[in-house]
Amino acid sequence: MEPSEPAEPALVPATNVIPPEVLREAIKAVAAERPLRGDAGQTYSPAPDSVAARLAKGFAAARAAVPPKLLEAPRMELVSAPRDPKRIYRVTTALGEYCLYYPDKGGISANSDPRSGRPEFGQPMASTCPIPF
């Protein structure tokens, strides 16, 4: 068998019509580039005083008022002040709620404890939640 000669490339007509396969490749390239651009994370959000924003806040408040179902993931929220080194998280589950108290690892009293270098240092303690004032 003789090797066949390579076929000559098909000539593209000299019109302004773009072939469909070239158009498809261009669309794929643009779609692949879009997430790499900076505007990929921008989404539409309604004005804070609009009806849609108030409706969304109402739905979020109603969902937060109902405890999670038995097979739903627990909800966690930060109860302590945002810059407080001792963090307190409220965990709400289908069976109830409790708080996790994380110690301040940078505090002098914690670091002066001889047991502070142990691996369990810094583990949270679970207890009842504080009453908000």
Q: 128 and 99 in contact (C-beta within 8 Å)?
A: yes
Report pLDDT for 9: 58
Sites in the chain below the pLDDT cut of 50: none
Report pLDDT for 8: 63
Report pLDDT for 55: 92
Report pLDDT for 70: 92
